[in-house]
Structure 1
Amino acid sequence: MKDSYPPQPPTILLVEDNPGDVRLTREAFERSTFDATIECVKNGDETLSYLDGCGDSRPYPQLLLLDLNLPKTDGFAVLEELRRNDERPRIPVLVLTSSNADEDVLRSYELSANAYLTKPDCPEEFIEMVETIESFWFEEVHLPPPPP
């Protein structure tokens, strides 16, 4: 892990309303060698509330895994709000969704998503995805330092 990264396990905010996908993602993190804290919210409103509560009471997550198809405020609206609000630190956002529609990919990147991933079909592929996320986003990429 990069020296500038916090010594404690990173926190990843999973934004997912499907309980089966939450379970698969959590199990993939548990079965991988990646030590991370996974916080989970079910919709865009909860995501923005979670982030509004970060700072003094809890640290900001180092990464967001964001589904697009959410009840209430959807993933696109979350991306819009994250990029519009300059008071929050820039948190890398990986769209993790079942859609592989070109218009969803394009719109996600236009709204400053850092990556677009299609959800794997089986648990083994979820584990591979988690290990790839860990390797790339927490070992190779230089992330911005957390806010003071």
Structure 2
Amino acid sequence: MKILSDFFKSISSDSTVNIDNDTLESFTDEKILAISILLIEVSKSDDYYDELEKNTIIEIIREKFSLDKNQIDLLINLADKKNDEMISLHDFIEVLNKECSYSEKKDLIKMLWDVAYIDGRIDKYEDYTIRKISDLLYITHSDFIQAKLR
């Protein structure tokens, strides 16, 4: 996961967050990065990415992956940058299809809905984005609907 290490090294000199080599080496999980990018993708799909959505993503990541504040800050910055630069979801979906069980992928769809619902409404673009991600992760339609309605 040279990309993450290179990114962390490049921002460490001008970032207010202290980074050490142990943090860099321990944070090399493509799966967590891919999940974070998809969470951000859903939050930005309605062209309205606010602090409430960002804080929801941070809380989801903290609960699911037990990362410390520095790791989460770095991850969010990297995921946000990657999200802005990405052309396609497929590279990130490929990581998740290789590394996640079906149950983990269903949990991800639930997390995506949590982000979409946080502002009290589901935008048609949020719905479309989650549906597209769900299809690419080979989630059945019934599991997609169950995640949406829970």
Which of the pair has more CA radius of gyration? 2
More strand by share: 1
User: TM (normalized to structure 1)?
Assistant: 0.32
User: TM (normalized to structure 2)?
Assistant: 0.32
More helix by share: 2
